[in-house]
Each structure stands twice: as structure tokens, then as C-alpha cells.
Chains A and B, each alone.
Chain A
């Protein structure tokens, strides 16, 4: 299979570089689209530049002329402007006003493509999906080196976007997190908004030839969204989004060449695979982000549950051994008492055995010396809390048990001492049970 992976650095290298530049320039701006909850405006602008593109293309007959960028910037600004106008003057919900504007402009664009089709060679497929595979063949000579045109254009756009973020970092930050204070802060938030939107349009145009005007949306939104799940700091988020975007671009190209081969096909569109691998990166971030990942959160909750179950088990065994409860300390019976399933309890008791706090003899659990000392602390915490709650929070005697049951797991030596001294070093809890001493 790998033999079909025909890799040629002079071609694939350029494709990957184009993809990376495309992804980086888009995701730089995308951070602020995601943070300002305007992702769909990014989508709208990348659809809506179509009429601008066609008009400019018709005038200049050159997909990389400055006219293209001017046309796109104009339409981009107009999209933002129309959306704003319909939302404010017509009192229409923001989503709907975006929907009205971009579908109309897109329809206009399709109509224009149809009109100029016999005079201008502009394939709508090319505009929508791009043809990154073709980019290495259209080269410019810069400083004696043959460089694809797209790479040059995208580098310039990347630098432009980078410059925009560096120069207006503070303003962008404030207007992303606190738009009201941005207005109060005295700088022109509206102006920054429109510059941002114009840059979005320019980036969409620069990228349309390589990843297409729709797939550039993936680069605008997905890597920043993934970065947003990985960090809470704006600067890190921007850097991370750029890294993730580059990774998706590389993965995308490798995937486009190799994945279809597994099913016996030739390579497929790199742009599509780039969007897909960005999605994959996002999925991984959403699942395994150390702070906000879903799997991580579930796992942490599960660990905490086991921790608490092990505490409860030790305390229960202590009470059984002290003769407070008469029951055979077998896993099945214990599980029923602790309202847990046998599997979790089996897992927890083996963990405790591994830590040397419990021994299991012929299916019966027994605390070791270590276990007894741990249990004594837990039971002491529990009964001290009961005493404290009864004395100071004036809770009913029936209700203090549940509260103490929760609090005992988060009580350390220091807190226990404070509780004891606050309740005048009691010997028994409100139920009349003996409060065990800290040390035997």
C-alpha cells in the first residue's frame, strides 16, 4: 500500500506549505471569530465573496491580481455591513440576517458565473473546493528561486493577518471578552470589526484557489475552536490554533494521498481531507483536553467516585470490626450496603489490598493496621462533623449524617483538630457513638 504513496518533495512539499499557510492565515483570524461568537459570519463571508470574485475575475482575467482582493474586500465589508444593517434597521435576529445576506450574494455569484461562463474560464467547483494539487505548477521567480504564486500570496496574507493581530492585540482582546468596555475604552470597536471582516474576506480569497471558499471556513473555525478547549489564555490559544491548523494541513495532505489507497482508490482532494483532519484534531481536543476534555472530565469524576467508595468501604469495615454492625464482610453484601455495584467494589477492594489497607481471606474483607488507622481518621472526621453540625449549624440529628458523610472525605488532620477544639473535645457524637481518638 505504501508503495502507492508517491511522494515528491518538489510537488508535495509545496502543496503542504500552501496548506499550512492557508490554515495559519485563516486560523489567526478565526480565533476572534470564535471568541466573538461570529463563526457563522466567517462562513457567510467566505460564501458571499463569490460575486466579488466573479466580477473581479471578469475584469482582470487573472485569479491572483490585486483586483480580486479589492473585489473580495469590498464584498466582505458589504456582507458585514448588510448583516448589520438588516439586523439593526429591520430588527431581524442576527442568524437570520446573516442567512439572508450570504445566500443572496452567493446566488448572485452563481448567476454571474453562469453569465460569464462562455467568456471566462471560471469553474464554480474550483471556487468552492479549490485545487491545491495544481498550485505547484503555477510558479513565480523570486530572488532566483521558483516559488508557486499561491505560496507568495498566502505568505503575504499570513503576514498581514499576523500584523493585524499583533498591532491590535489589546483592542481585539477587549472587544472579544468585554465589548461594552471596548466601546467605553475609547477606541473604535466598529472600525476594528470591519477591518477584521475585510481581512476575513481577503483571506478567503487568497485561500479560495487552494482550499476553496467553503473549506476555508474549516480553517477559520475548527483549529481555533480546538485551541479554545485546550487553554484559557488568549495568547496560548492563538499560538495553539496556528499549530493545530498546520498539523491538520500536513495530516490532510498525507491522508489525501494514503487513505483512499487502503480501499483501493487513488488519492482524493487534499482540501477536503484538510478540513476532515481539522475535525479530527478538534474531536481529540474535545475528548482529551486536560482541562475541558469530555473523557478527562468523565475519568476524573469516576476516580473521585472510587476514592469516595474506598473511603466508605474502609469506614464500614471499621464499624463492622468495632461491632457496630453485624454483617459478613463479603464483597456482595458490602456492595449492597454501600449502594454500589460488585464490580466497582471488587476494583476498590483490590486497590486497597494493593495499598496494604485491606486483606481478603476466603472472600471476607478485613482491615490491616494501616486500614484501621485510616478508617479511624475517617470515622473520627464523620463523628466530629456530626457533633459540629449539631452544635453550630443547629441541624436536626436525623439530617447531620448525610452532611457528615459528604464532608468526611475532604477533612484533613488540621481541620479535625479545629473541629474537635470547636466542639470542646467531645467523646461521643450526637448519636451516642464513640468518637475514636486521632492515634491509638
Chain B
């Protein structure tokens, strides 16, 4: 509540709380800074994510602590103001670069893997930093130097200089990414290929890491050294759910980063009990969860819906073929059917079969069948007349097409893959739904069939009718 009391805006106006950030200079500064930082971190995070170095920022941000402490001690010793962010950021940068060098050295010179290298550098550097902070506190004014703000972040106290720094570094970082976009892309997706094309992969890698270091360091004061990792990792990971293109991914990541920075800062400016650093990160997490479920490319919900839709279409196709083949084996069973199917030419099979017949042909339960039938009915592929399933005109065409694909594949398997005739039905069952028109054309050519003509089934079709309980076999030779 103390934050609110400081505001010059009339607090008695109930709407004031929501829009206060618009009029307060400091809040605006913080919001702009957070947006810039989120955007820059999001863009650069994409490259580290695809490089499978998402946690590099973690190690670097922890590694900066001793640099900050040493810079403070040295600046104080030589009579400069230790509070000046220039010295502290310089120290942080040097320590961060040293941390990277240590990670690379451990990976190259020992048999430890990347994860251990990151963990060692992170914890040992941080330990040194904590030990040095213990000393800093003994220096006059060390307690009040606000070095702790580098650990937790003091977004609410961001100064004009901080925002300018974030702006400059962020824009430089984004410019660097755009300038070396092609090279960075190659590095991320196929390092060996990039090297074979003569690209200086090591230097590109170093450049990328330098970008991570610079963003980490300008972000330290804004959200603190642990939460800056979030801005480097989460927007990029969230953007991955929306697209497969690197360019659009980095734009989306920049947007998500900027949005969480902006929204988080606004929330924090509005509610005194929401400190800005954690709020920004939690907004970011929320956007990540949204992307993870609803992302257009890889989102969980989208994938589930797509899968369900596919499964439904497969079931529908199975139903259509079952109805068609049943009709084929028992043409002209009843006069009533012939009468109902009056609209179709005479050589077409019977168009109406009962539920029981389909049930016996496919391994569906009654419940499943009625569900599949309902979906098909909704698409006007079949009509349900009492217990009978009848193909509509569209359904008939579709059924014929499916059956044709099925049989072409069966024939192909028999003649070219030498699969036993009795087994092809099952094999063809799986593939008939995903055959492209070109493949069908090729199959026709291979099997010397005429386009559009429906070949006979190469194997025996089971005859099941409503009143015949035991299965008889009707041989249909060619």
C-alpha cells in the first residue's frame, strides 16, 4: 500500500488504480523497460533454445554475481562510487564471459557433459559471489549498495539509465540476430552442415553466447538474476508451439516476451502486493501454458483435436466401405431396397444394410457404431432409416472411392509385395486412409487398371445378412 500512497493521482477515484500507470512517469518507464527486455530476451532465447542451450542463461546469470561484487569492492577501493551501475555491469559482463569460458573448458578438457559443466560453473561462481557479498557488507555503504537487487531484481526502481541501456542492448541484440539470421539458422539446425559451408561456427557460437550474456546482464537489475532465465527460456519455448518457422518463431517469442513484460509490469504497478519480477515471470508462464495447450502448430489441444478428427474420418471411411461391400455381396436382396435406391443405376449394389450386418463385419460395439453412424449422417454420407443404414449419393461416391483405394492397395500388396491374399485386407486397412491421389494414379499404372474403375476384391468377402446367422462365403472371382 505504500507504493499507492506515493502516487500523486487521486486515490479516491476508484478507477484510478487501473489506469494509474498511464500517468505515473516511473511506472511508464518500468513498463517500457520490461517490454523491451522481454522482446529482446524472447528473440535471443529462440536461438539458444534451438541450439539446445536453454539453460546456458541460467549458468551465466549466476556466474555474474562475483563480477558484481568484485567490481563493487574494486571501485570502492580506488575511490569510485561503487553504486555506479557502469562498473557493476562491466564486472558482471567479465564474470559472465569467464563463466562461459569455464563451461567450454570443462566440456572440452574433461569427460563431463554439458549439464555438469553448467551446474559446476553456476554453483561455484555463485558460491564465490555469496562469499564476496559477505565481504561487501563489511565495506562502508556496502549494505545499502543495493547489490541484492541484482539477485531479486528491483523492477519498480528502474531508472532512466537502466531503460536506455535495455533499449540499446536489446535493439543491438535483435539487429545482430537479423543481420546473421541465415548463419544463426544454419548453426541451430545443422551445425555440421554450417561448418561444411565454411561458416565460422565457433565464432557464431561465441557471438550468440555474447548476446545471451548482454541480455542477461541488462536484465539482472530488472527482474533479477534468477528470473531473467525465465525471460530467456519461456517465451521461446512458448513460441515453438505456434510455428515451425524460425523467423516467425522469433517474432512470436519477442511478442510473448514483450507482452509478459508489459502486462506483468502493469499488474505490478496496479497492485501493491504484486512485486514486478515474479509477476512478469508468472504472466510469462501463463502465456506459455496457453501456448502449450492452444498453440496452432504443436499445442496439446490442437494436436488432440486433429487426432480425433483424423480418427473420426477413419471410422467414417471404415463404415462407408463396410456398407458398400456388404451391399456388393448381397445385391438385390429385397425389393424394398431396390425401390428405395431408385435414383441409382441398376448395376450399383444394394444401398441399405442393417446395423447388425455392419456389426458383424467390423469389430465395433453397438455404441461405437451408432456414434460413427451419427458422424457420417451429419456429413450427409448416409441416411438412417430405422435399423437400416443407407448410403446417400455422396456417400456412395465416397464409399466407392475408399473401396477402390483399399482394393488397389490390396492388389499391389499381392502382386508386388507378395503378401498372402488372406492377410492383405488388414494391411490395406491401415493405409487406405492416407493414400494421396498421386499414389493412387501410380498404383493404377502399376496394376494396369483404368482410372475410375472399381476392381473386384482379391479375397473372399464375408457375406453376412440379417437373417443368415452363420457366415457363408460368396466367391467373387475376376
A interface, CB within 8 angstroms of B = 34, 37-40, 42-43, 47, 86, 89-93, 95-100, 103-104, 106-108, 110-111, 114-115, 124-125, 128-129, 212, 214-215, 217-218, 220-222, 225, 228-229, 256, 260, 263, 265-269, 271-276, 278-279, 282, 286, 292, 294
B128 on interface, CB distance cutoff 8 Å: yes
B119 close to A90 (CB less than 8 A): no
Given A104-B281, A111-B274, does the pair A221, B123 have CB atoms closer than 8 Å?
A: yes
- The interface size of chain B toward A, counting residues with CB under 8 Å, comes to 61
Nearest-CB residue, chain B, relative to A217: B123
24 CB < 8 A contacts A-B: A39-B118, A92-B240, A96-B237, A99-B55, A100-B230, A103-B226, A103-B281, A104-B285, A107-B277, A110-B275, A215-B130, A218-B124, A221-B116, A221-B120, A225-B116, A229-B111, A265-B135, A268-B132, A269-B134, A272-B126, A272-B130, A278-B123, A279-B120, A286-B106
CA distance A40 to B133 in the complex (A): 25
Interface of A is mostly: helix
Measured between beta carbons, the chain A residues less than 8 angstroms from B275 are 110-111, 114
Among B46-54, B190-198, B214-222, B454-462, the stretch that binds chain A is: B46-54
Measured between beta carbons, the chain A residues less than 8 angstroms from B464 are none
Nearest-CB residue, chain B, relative to A269: B134
- Minimum distance in angstroms from A181 CB to a CB of chain B: 20
Measured between beta carbons, the chain B residues less than 8 angstroms from A220 are 119, 123
CA distance A125 to B147 in the complex (A): 12
Contact partner, A217, options B119, B133, B151, B300, Cβ 8 Å: B119
Nearest-CB residue, chain B, relative to A297: B109
Measured between beta carbons, the chain A residues less than 8 angstroms from B234 are 99-100, 103-104
Contact partner, B285, options A98, A107, A265, Cβ 8 Å: A107
Question: Which 10 pairs show the lowest CB-CB distances between chains A and B?
Answer: A275-B127, A279-B124, A268-B134, A272-B131, A272-B130, A99-B233, A218-B123, A103-B230, A107-B281, A39-B119
B236 on interface, CB distance cutoff 8 Å: yes
Contact partner, B134, options A43, A89, A114, A272, Cβ 8 Å: A272
Measured between beta carbons, the chain B residues less than 8 angstroms from A114 are 273, 275, 278
- Minimum distance in angstroms from B154 CB to a CB of chain A: 12
B interface, CB within 8 angstroms of A = 49, 52-55, 57-58, 62, 106, 109-113, 115-116, 118-120, 122-124, 126-135, 138, 148, 151-152, 226-227, 229-230, 232-234, 236-237, 240-241, 273-275, 277-279, 281-282, 284-285, 288, 292, 298, 300
A222 close to B120 (CB less than 8 A): yes
Given A40-B55, A90-B300, does the pair A110, B110 have CB atoms closer than 8 Å?
A: no
- Minimum distance in angstroms from B206 CB to a CB of chain A: 19
CA distance A207 to B346 in the complex (A): 85
Measured between beta carbons, the chain A residues less than 8 angstroms from B58 are 40, 43, 99
Nearest-CB residue, chain A, relative to B230: A103
A93 close to B130 (CB less than 8 A): no
- Minimum distance in angstroms from A433 CB to a CB of chain B: 44
Contact partner, B135, options A47, A92, A268, A282, Cβ 8 Å: A268
B127 close to A111 (CB less than 8 A): no
A110 close to B277 (CB less than 8 A): yes
CA distance A99 to B55 in the complex (A): 6
Measured between beta carbons, the chain A residues less than 8 angstroms from B131 are 256, 268-269, 272-273, 275-276
Nearest-CB residue, chain B, relative to A221: B119
CA distance A340 to B60 in the complex (A): 42
Given A100-B233, A107-B227, does the pair A275, B128 have CB atoms closer than 8 Å?
A: yes
B111 close to A103 (CB less than 8 A): no
Measured between beta carbons, the chain B residues less than 8 angstroms from A260 are 134-135
CA distance A91 to B299 in the complex (A): 9
- Minimum distance in angstroms from B103 CB to a CB of chain A: 12
- Minimum distance in angstroms from B333 CB to a CB of chain A: 50
CA distance A212 to B285 in the complex (A): 25
Contact partner, A103, options B233, B241, B273, Cβ 8 Å: B233
Select the residue from A92, A267, A273 with max chain B CB neighbours within 10 A. Answer: A92
Measured between beta carbons, the chain A residues less than 8 angstroms from B119 are 39-40, 42-43, 217, 220-222, 225
Given A43-B122, A265-B135, A269-B131, does the pair A100, B285 have CB atoms closer than 8 Å?
A: yes
Measured between beta carbons, the chain A residues less than 8 angstroms from B227 are 103, 106-107, 110
- Minimum distance in angstroms from B403 CB to a CB of chain A: 36
A110 close to B127 (CB less than 8 A): no
| Further 4 A-B residue pairs, CB within 8 A, beyond A107-B277, A278-B127 | A100-B288, A107-B278, A114-B278, A286-B106
- Minimum distance in angstroms from A31 CB to a CB of chain B: 11
A40 close to B134 (CB less than 8 A): no
- Minimum distance in angstroms from B245 CB to a CB of chain A: 16
Measured between beta carbons, the chain A residues less than 8 angstroms from B106 are 286
A292 close to B110 (CB less than 8 A): yes
B285 close to A229 (CB less than 8 A): no
A276 close to B128 (CB less than 8 A): yes
